[in-house]
Structure 1
Amino acid sequence: MLALPIYLRGGSYYLHTRVGGRQFKKSLGTGYKKLAILRAIQLLNSVAVMTQKPTLKDFPQVLTAQGKEYKLNVERGVIEADTPEEHQRAMEALKALKELKAMSSSPQMTPIEQKEDDLLGLTLNELVDNYFKIKSHLTLSTKLLYQRAVDDFSKFLKKKNITINRIQESEVVLFQNHLADKKLHPRTIDSKIKYLAILFNFAIKQNYYRFKNPFSNKKILTAKENLKNGWEFFEKEEITSFYKSESFKNKKKELPDYYYCLVLALATGLRASEITAVKKDDFKKINDINYLKLTDSKTSAGIREIPIHSYFYEELEQYINSKKSKVFTITSNNLSRYFTRHLEKIGVKRKKLVLHSIRKFVNNELMMNGVNEEYRCQFIGHEITSINTATYTKKYLWKN
């Protein structure tokens, strides 16, 4: 038992005390100790206020006004006042008496629900499973993003099987602060919150969750800030300098996974998660043209075929053929971290340059060389926003 009359039961803290001679029990709706203590203090303060029976002495300002008095007979419903000002003060007193009567009534204590959410409610992981069953079209990469967001939130709460009806908005805010303390970029934090918000919107629509979405309206960055704070793309001179540097060439022996990932990034403009997920069988050849067939991506537009220039494929071929299935063992997070550190090591300190900047560079080079927007979108894996193009035209067949 803590100093406060609270205890942990079934993964959630409860307040158990006596108020006005009556037993009072209330779930605090969290298994997080510090948050439970704060909620218990707030609840005890609220109960204390509710059980205090005020008197007319608590409303002296409505009984007199600058020495002028009025008469108020509540039982007969009679008000005696000589001036409009006194009449107004009398009406304020009548209103105060009504509030006084309401506050003086005994508070109704909420009993513990017989249906325990911990026993009958969906857990976060069960919610994800149900969501994936309904959204069967989601790619593996997209599913992983949802699962990582859920795992991170569960790990923060220190409870893997927490039921969704126990999750409070205050815990979401604490989760955001926790991620910020870990030095995660606001964009990354927003991304995790976005996936959790989508899951809870689904839960509300399916009647799995009976409260307001605790993850809604929690974005840190506005749309304008997202655009302003977006990653920069490399200049051609910077790309040339990096890929021709001795530091990068040495990685071919020191860290081959990293080296060949970056070669593939420049050849295709792939996302980090797409690069690290490719398999040997994804590399195809037709009409003497080597290409990569992506069957898994974060978006449906990301499912695509990307031709690979012979200059790059000659560099990649031997490494690809040496693998049995998955080409790279490095994770997308580690790939991004290594790249950022590598830039710092060789003295590239321009802000907002990250691994994703290579992808932006490739797209920009395609544009500068006259490649139309529709084909650039197909190559990079972006959604085509034009209804006319997306709905009423066929994909550009590079094989022809």
Structure 2
Amino acid sequence: MKRKKTLNMMSEEDFLFTFQHGDYKFVFEYDTPDEFREYLSELKDTVKELEAEKSYKRVQQIFKKEEQIEGEIKKGERPANKENFTFYDLETKFIVGKKKLEKVSASTYKAYEATFTKLKDFFKYERIENLNIEDFERFRDYLSTQVVNKTVNNHMAYVKMFVKWGNDRKLYPENNVQGVENLADSSPEIPHVNYTDKEIRNILEFEEFEQCYKDTFLIATRTGMRVNEICNIKNDDIKQDEETNIYYFDIKKSKTNAGVRQVPIHKDILERVLEIDFPLFPEKTDNASQKAILRQLYRVVKQGEGKFFHTFRGTFMNRCLKNYPRDLPIIQEIVGHEKEDKIKLSVDTYAKGYQLSLKKEILDSVSYY
């Protein structure tokens, strides 16, 4: 009887629930709170399915694009197309060739794209085999009207890489860019200077940083890891050695073979690292994360004084060498630097790297307080 009175006091709209998700609109009617909760549960599952479907469609689009690129490559292998090989053709073939190796970062692909865009804008559909050294010098001088000489030289280094890559694969008979000289770099060289202990403390104690940036700098100063390595840490990469019980970062992907390594977690940051839900920047690409980190760093560090995120690596190595001057090869393994060939053969090939306990002893000695 009480429920009937209540129902009489309410309009039909009070028992209707409406929810819109993208192109879909859901409307349902309910009589009881339990029925309402049941509908919500079903709605949640439906939304998940719709999101999954959208993700699947995005993946399908990517695969379709890859198939198109592969098709273009196969076409490009035909003699008729070789005779008309342009920078449009070279870009397609070069990028897919690099992707198959899976050794190139997203930021490097972006740099490739920037240089190819300038090449296509300047040479249009001109055949690469028709270009001589004077043509490439004209391209270099054209770039110098847009950007500083150092950037021009960076673009030209990529151009030489692209053209050589195609020439090695017999896509055109000559490599006429190799003899193009670099422009004089008029920008003053900024010497790299390691951080002082006080500067490290200022960075680590800066209260206005969001937690993800605090954690990034904390890990960098205690491991010497590269910024992209830190950005790519996942929860599964935090492991514990069964024999020694030492926790470590298991870095499986890096810009070099030496970068694939096990880095012990510093005693001062272990408790914090075990609390973090990795990755630190789940919503950002590698490139976006690195730019954001650098912007935050420059809130504390003055730009133009030769100090960057990469400076953390040099500072960390400096502290390790100061405490363990005879153990450079072990320190190189910690930070992912290539060792000398003789040591590399003995340690990496036969011993499969240095023991975690040795690396941890050196790493734990680093302090900025």
TM-score (ref. length: structure 2): 0.59
- Residue 118 of structure 2 corresponds to 156
Instruction: Structure 1 unaligned segments of length 5 or more: list them.
Output: 1-112
Provide the secondary structure at the position in 2 that maps to 1:249. Answer: coil
TM superposition shift of 1:378: 0.6
1:139 and 2:92 correspond: no
In our comparison, the structure showing a higher alpha carbon Rg is 1
Structure with a larger share of its residues in helix:
2
Does the C-alpha gap of structure 1 residues 215 and 312 become closer, same or farther in structure 2, counting only changes over 3 Å?
farther
- Residue 173 of structure 2 corresponds to 210
Q: Give 1:42-57 correspondences, 5 Å limit.
A: none
- Residue 69 of structure 1 corresponds to none
Does the C-alpha gap of structure 1 residues 375 and 169 become closer, same or farther in structure 2, counting only changes over 3 Å?
same
In structure 2, distance between residues paired with 1:118 and 1:129: 16
In structure 2, distance between residues paired with 1:207 and 1:388: 37
Provide the secondary structure at the position in 2 that maps to 1:311. Answer: coil
In structure 2, distance between residues paired with 1:175 and 1:285: 55
Q: One-letter code of the match for 1:198?
A: M
1:376 pairs with 331, 334, 350, which one? 331
Provide the secondary structure at the position in 2 that maps to 1:291. Answer: strand
Q: Give 1:217-296 correspondences, 5 Å limit.
A: 218-219=181-182, 229-244=190-205, 248-252=206-210, 256-286=211-241, 287-296=244-253
Contact persistence 1:197–1:216 (CA under 8 A): no
Over the aligned positions, Cα root-mean-square deviation in angstroms equals 3.9
1:155-206 CA-partner distances (Å, limit 9, x unpaired)? 334669967557751465157537735xxx93x7655544443332222222
Does the C-alpha gap of structure 1 residues 178 and 119 become closer, same or farther in structure 2, counting only changes over 3 Å?
closer
Q: One-letter code of the match for 2:103?
A: T
Does the C-alpha gap of structure 1 residues 275 and 267 become closer, same or farther in structure 2, counting only changes over 3 Å?
same
Provide the secondary structure at the position in 2 that maps to 1:306. Answer: strand
In structure 1, distance between residues paired with 2:208 and 2:201: 16
TM superposition shift of 1:330: 4.1
TM superposition shift of 1:209: 3.0
Q: Give 1:171-186 correspondences, 5 Å limit.
A: 172-173=139-140, 176-177=143-144, 180=147, 186=150
Q: One-letter code of the match for 1:285?
A: Q
Q: Give 1:1-400 correspondences, 5 Å limit.
A: 117=84, 122-130=89-97, 133=100, 136=101, 139-141=103-105, 144=106, 146-157=108-119, 165=129, 168-170=135-137, 172-173=139-140, 176-177=143-144, 180=147, 186=150, 190=153, 193-214=156-177, 218-219=181-182, 229-244=190-205, 248-252=206-210, 256-286=211-241, 287-320=244-277, 323=278, 328-342=282-296, 344-346=298-300, 348=302, 351-370=305-324, 372-384=327-339, 386-393=340-347, 394=351, 395-399=353-357
1:90-121 CA-partner distances (Å, limit 9, x unpaired)? xxxxxxxxxxxxxxxxxxxxxxx998515898
In structure 1, distance between residues paired with 2:227 and 2:261: 16
1:309-367 CA-partner distances (Å, limit 9, x unpaired)? 132132232222xx5x6754445554554455445544646611111111111111111
Work out the number of aligned pairs and report it.
267
Q: One-letter code of the match for 1:396?
A: Y
In structure 1, distance between residues paired with 2:343 and 2:159: 32
Q: One-letter code of the match for 2:229?
A: E
1:135-157 CA-partner distances (Å, limit 9, x unpaired)? x4x5243xx45522321123334
Contact persistence 1:201–1:213 (CA under 8 A): no
In structure 1, distance between residues paired with 2:224 and 2:272: 16
Contact persistence 1:117–1:166 (CA under 8 A): no
TM superposition shift of 1:299: 1.1
Instruction: Structure 2 unaligned segments of length 5 or more: list them.
Output: 1-79, 359-369
TM superposition shift of 1:273: 2.0
Contact persistence 2:239–2:248 (CA under 8 A): yes
In structure 2, distance between residues paired with 1:300 and 1:178: 38
Contact persistence 2:228–2:290 (CA under 8 A): no
In structure 2, distance between residues paired with 1:382 and 1:221: 30
Provide the secondary structure at the position in 2 that maps to 1:284. Answer: strand
In structure 1, distance between residues paired with 2:261 and 2:138: 39
